[in-house]
Amino acid sequence: RMYRKRGGSNPLLPEKLRGVFWMATNIAPELVATFEGERYDPERRRLYVTSGGVLSWTYSASCVGFVYWLFLRVSYIFCSTLHINFTDDSLTSAEMPVYICGCCFCPMGMVWRMEQIDDNTWDRQIYTYCNMNEKSKMSYILKRVIDGNGNKLPAFDEMIQSVSPGGVPGLPQKPAMQIMNGDSCFSCFSDPSEKKGYEMVPP
């Protein structure tokens, strides 16, 4: 659903950032995300990702997932934005600071980075301020499961297996049912037909 709603909505978005990405080894209660529809500034090599935005991120339909969703939805009310600042012209490495109200840097005790591994895989690195020499256990691998044309990629089946009974050995088990912010009166892209600020979506 997120790709059907947002796919191709920003022609400036680089091909390597199109489609839907699976947070494969992420221990947090979140499963997939898309950068489609987010604002991209090619001159600054910067992608602006709305925190807790609509039709862009899914969270586990569990008690922990709902708390996590609520926290990020509050950040949306305060206009929080994740800046993905690519440090090279080939867009293979990025720093990821968070800003509140569009201009105020938000220190979180962590430094977030992204490093491209291959065409469909990114190393989502997290470092804590107290240990900048070692990646945190919260770091994870980001795999593209749907490409920029809406085609399923090989990792898609692995993602489906990861939310199925038994899961995938070595990967976090996530529930098949996920929460995703839908259009509502509280979103910038309001749709009067939507009565809730979130949707329950199966894989």
Position 51 scores a pLDDT of 93
Position 203 scores a pLDDT of 53
Average pLDDT over the chain, rounded to an integer: 89
| Local confidence band at 194 (pLDDT 50, 70, 90 cut-offs) | very low
Position 133 scores a pLDDT of 92
Residue 72 pLDDT > 70: yes
Residues 199 and 184: their CA atoms lie apart, in Å, by 10
pLDDT tens-digit series, residues 157-186? 999 999 999 999 999 999 999 999 887 544
Over range 189-199, report the average pLDDT: 41
- 197 contact partners, CB below 8 Å, separation of at least 6: 73, 181, 182, 184, 186, 187
pLDDT tens-digit series, residues 23-59? 999 999 999 999 999 999 999 999 999 999 889 999 9
CA dihedral sign of residues 17, 21, 25, 29: positive
Position 154 scores a pLDDT of 96
| 38: nearest Cα among 5, 71, 73, 60 | 5
- 132 contact partners, CB below 8 Å, separation of at least 6: 111
pLDDT tens-digit series, residues 82-136? 999 999 999 999 999 999 987 899 988 999 999 999 999 999 999 999 999 999 9
Phi, psi angle pair for 156, to nearest 5°:
-60, -45
Residues 153 and 168: their CA atoms lie apart, in Å, by 17
Instruction: Tell me the β-bridge partners of 60.
Output: 178
**Residue 137: Cβ within 10 Å count:** 8
Rounded to 5 degrees, what angle do the CA atoms 19, 123, 34 make?
Answer: 20
Position 202 scores a pLDDT of 54
Position 192 scores a pLDDT of 36
Residues 11 and 82: their CA atoms lie apart, in Å, by 20
| Local confidence band at 4 (pLDDT 50, 70, 90 cut-offs) | confident
Q: pTM to 2 decimals? A: 0.88
Residue 197 pLDDT > 50: no
Position 201 scores a pLDDT of 52
